[in-house]
Amino acid sequence: MWLYLVALLVLYLLCRWYRERQTVSNLPDKHVFITGCDSGFGHLLAKQLDGRGLRVLAACLTEQGAERLQQETSGRLQTVILDVTKSDSIAAAAAWVKGQVGDRGLWGLVNNAGIGDPAGPNEFLSKADFTRVLDVNLVGLIEVTLSLLPLVRRAQGRVVNVASAAGRLSLIGGGYCPSKYGVEAFSDSLRRELRDFRVKVSIIEPGGFRTPLIDVQRVQKSLEQVWSCASANVKEAYGQQYFDRHFEKFKELLFTTSPKLHLVTDAMEHALTARHPRTRYSCGWDAKLFYLPVSYLPTSWTDYLLARSMPKPAQGI
């Protein structure tokens, strides 16, 4: 009995391996638009796809980021300046993309642009702190997608949205986790709506990776600003020790992050070039073996596991 089960499992894995190795044809004729290419995943993906021969349209927030990327890639890659929080910037970028792709349409849209700060205990933050992150990570992603969907539908292409393991398991206060939960929900509804147009939507769920989003000095400065803006009542309730311990936990987490950004960009590349892309890509062993499994546990179990490592407020129980 067990032998048959093992044989079936091996057969399933072999079939899956073969299916996922099949790639789409005519890659050099396909355009891919990527947001957030100044650094991190977006920068690496732009270079990676350019090396595969695709026609990369890279959106950067700054001129410096665009110039650096152009110096590191071939003449095929084109750049445009894009601020995903501004509708006029998105409209201008969409018009530029339309001019680049012509009647062929846009094969791939990778929504990678994102920020993490301000983050911290929720009661330390203001509505503006939440809105700043949501405007980039979720609202901006939605507006970029809606602006370019007609071109993606024409090419019967792909939409790749970068969420996070924190879009399944809320690990920290602030707008980051809610924004990534929102990316998951938007992507799920979009995938079902576009199915009959032969457009495929994939979600990338990285664990902890060492990108510019995770920089000790920058996050420390951000947390100190959050603490300084907190009300006297909040400071008294939580205490200075709570704030100090919160930052120490972040630094401990930093040492567990992976520098292997290619694990994420390889997943993005597969979602764009495979004939049968996955719906979700979990990237990193922490995502595969801890964050995602824990997200399926009963809520009381999840709360116990995560609360054990949290600092205690001064006026807590």
**Which positions are catalytic?**
176
- The answer to whether 40 and 213 are in contact (CB under 8 A) is yes
Residues recorded for the chain: 317
Q: Between the CA of residue 163 and those of 54, 94, 125, 148, 176, what are the distances in Å?
A: 24, 22, 22, 19, 10
Cα separation of 147 and 135, whole Å? 16
Count each helix (H run) and each strand (E run) in the chain, helices first.
14, 7
Does residue 118 have a cis bond before it (omega within 30 degrees)? Answer: yes
Which of 244, 210, 236, 8 has the alpha carbon at shortest distance from 116? 210
Strand partners, 202: 160
For the chain, helix, strand, coil in percent to 5 are 60, 15, 30
- The answer to whether 140 and 161 are in contact (CB under 8 A) is no
Cα separation of 187 and 201, whole Å? 7
Q: Which structure tokens are listed for 95? A: 């018009």
Alpha-helical runs (H) found in 119-175:
127-134, 140-155
Residues whose CB is less than 8 angstroms from the CB of residue 138 and which lie 6 or more positions away in sequence, other chains included: 178, 179, 182, 183, 186
Looking at this protein, which amino acid is placed at residue 46?
Answer: A
> CB-side exposure of 141: number of CA atoms within 13 Å?
28
Cα separation of 169 and 180, whole Å? 10
